[in-house]
Structure 1
Amino acid sequence: MRLRTFLTLGAVLLAVLGLVSAGGLFWMTTLLQRQTTSLIDAAERVRAAAELEITLLLLQYAHEVEGIGPRDIGPPVGVDALVREVPERLAHVELYTETEAERGLVAASRASVEAYLNAPEPDRRLRLAQAVDATRAVMDSSIARARAARDEATAVRRTGRFIGTLLAVSVLAGMVLFLAIAQTRIYRPLVAIRRALSAFKSGRRESRVARAGPPELQEIGAEFNDMAETVASQDARQLQFLAGVAHDLRTPLNALKLSAQMLLRARTAPPPEKVRESLVRISNQVDRLERMVGDLLDRTRIEAGNLELRLEECDLRGLVEEVVELHRPSSEQHRLEYSVPDSPVPWRCDSTRLAQVLTNLVSNAIKYSPKGGVVSLRLESSEREVSVSVTDEGVGIPPGDLDTLFEPFKRSGSAAKDIPGVGLGLSVSRRIARAHGGDIEVESAVGAGSTFRLHLPR
């Protein structure tokens, strides 16, 4: 599950629990309010029925005595005053009547009261007794309703407590579940990434991040692992580069040292031919050192964006011929050939830099053909571009090295261990070609030689 989906689901879950809690609270509040109103109505209904019953009982008692004296329940009350209160008490009872059964009881009570009020004197006591009985039935019904309302309120409170407890437990369980999943799926992978970064920063280059957590964190871990592999590869290449530089510097320096010692240790002046051979050897080694330093400086300038081109019109035929003639004396095992068009091939370029590119390509063709053979250059011109191809009969390049061949400090194949070089020539050459708007491509097969083709658009 992706991190965004997990967080969205967590937010939705908490929102749903919140809405359910709010809905449950609203429902319980409404229900409790309804039950409270029902209890109040029941109490009022009981009070109204009780007042009606008391009034009728007072009437019943008043018929037995002329009035109600102070020794009884209060100031004297006449029958006429009590009779006037009966309709008011009855109307009060009817006000709180809800069910059909209650309405029937109240109607019977009213009929009995009216029968009492309209009865002749001899029958009034009997009618009054009937009215008291009917009112007592209303009273009993009201008390039963009040008890039912009380029981319903008690049940509602119990239900409310249960639902509240259930919601609280659900919210707590949801939060615990969310935090537990977040702890396992998010926090721990983040801590692992942080530890890997800290370890890598402290110098433990083998530190890597295990694939864990949501895809986003896995992608971050994979990016870190790729970065760590790249850094480790760069470190290895830099060490290889330093070893190559040391090896390549030691070879010409040893040659220079031997040539100088030979001249210094001679007790007599060496023959001019020996002196000339030593000076030529010294000059060649100095040129080799100069090329190495030049490649390093060019790479530094390219990385800093300070590579300057001095463009001028030149005939590329002469440039190809010059490079071929420069390398003819460098190896007796190789035969250098070139093919150029009969007509001039003018092109605006930095001739020094372009000669550097061709020199690197020809030098590599010679170095990676340890058994000798033909190294051929071919200059072709069309309306769209100019191309120069350099073909050798050397060891070739493994297919797996073609994609990284032009990277700095990258050298191809097992033969590279026995061939001098630091792996900057092709990288610098491609950068120079691209600075001219062109590029270099390669075709090769192991054991069948290689062809490097420089493309320059018109």
Structure 2
Amino acid sequence: MNISVRLFFGYFLVVGLAAWFVLNTFTHETEPGIRQATEETLVDTAHVLAEMAAMELSAGRIGQGAFADSLRAATRRSPRANISGVEKETIDFRVYVTDPHGIVVYDSEGTAVGADYAQWRDIARVLRGEYGARNTLENPADPNSSVMYVAAPIFWQGELIGVLSLAKPLASLHPYIARAEQRVKQSGLLLLAATAAIGLFFSGWLSWSINRLRAYARDVADGRKAEPPTSGGRQFSELARALAEMRERLEGKQYVERYVQNLAHEMKSPLTAVIGAAEILEGDPPAADRRRFADSIGEQARRLQAIIDRMLMLARVEQLQAPEGIATVDLAELLKTCIELRRQQLDARRLDCRLSATPVSIRGDAFLLQQAILNLLDNAIEFSPEGGLIELALSHTEEASEITVRDHGAGAPDYALRQLFDRFYSLPRPATGRKSTGLGLALVREVARLHDGDAEFANHPDGGGVGRIRLPPG
């Protein structure tokens, strides 16, 4: 399983459990909290009513006086109150009053007058001087018929003359309880959704950062040019820079070792020829031989110089991650310039060089692109028959710009096609039988790749070879 998916599930599991615990606690505390708030209000109301009933209870007319009339009038009221979205249309309460012995002397519903309530918890505790309250099911078969009673003592001139109990059916609170629970659940679901969205965002961001590091590592493993990703946060940026530094050090070490080996191998043959010629010259050979061996030393020295120069350029290009001197390059003009730079070589072999180009401009390093084209043109000159034709073409599509250089020589052997771009691999030149440094086509491909393009060489169906450089559109 993807590490970011595992992190998301772990994160969501922890947050989900925490959210479930909070929601469960809120849900279970909603009803008790509303009951406690209601009970607190009933306590205040019961004591206010107890003070209002004291005078009439002491006079023995609690059921016929203004107190009873006021309560009857109140029960007929319709408050039409909208409380947090719940409509309240009726007054829901019951009041009964007992004497000091717990006998009911007044009941707002008129059903319990004369009953002995001395054993009821609300009355009994108040008569003992304590706080009295109880919850009782009006219908034992209906769990929603619970009624809350809160009692308050009635004093007259400092003497306890009775108890007033105020009752509130809890069924009237159920809409508020249900609404509160619904809001808590909705808020919880929103919290979980927001948590999931945040978790997905950070998991996606983490996965994106890891995938960029993975892609960078794969590019490094495949030998492709790649910039280390540095936009995934401080730690990812540090990791990317550490990988880049490790890559540079490893590549630098391997690069030096490989190039020293290749350079030593390629320089061995010309050096051997130079040493052999020098030893012969030390013996004072005839003038003709001296001239021949001196020319051989010069030729091998020039070969060594060419190897060193191209090795240095190839090494510089291979170490670049992007072109240095980026500018707008007119490829058609660049091809014309390359032809003029090789005009002497073309004329020396009586070669006709034709250019077919459409105006195309790209962003790149003009010097490196020129070196790549010159290497393809040099290759075509060396493999063209004397008096032959070289064709340069420049085409453009939405996907790429393509430069082709075709000669009309014998082409390359099939076995050699896959190795032509390898360093130091070279075929004998038809005119002289000698090999080149074997670095020209390697440089062509590196320049093309540095510009996010590619290079290839193939035999033309009608004869000769075709070198191509494909570059992304400007």
Relative to total residues, which structure has the larger strand share, 1 or 2?
2
Relative to total residues, which structure has the larger helix share, 1 or 2?
1
TM-score (norm 2): 0.45
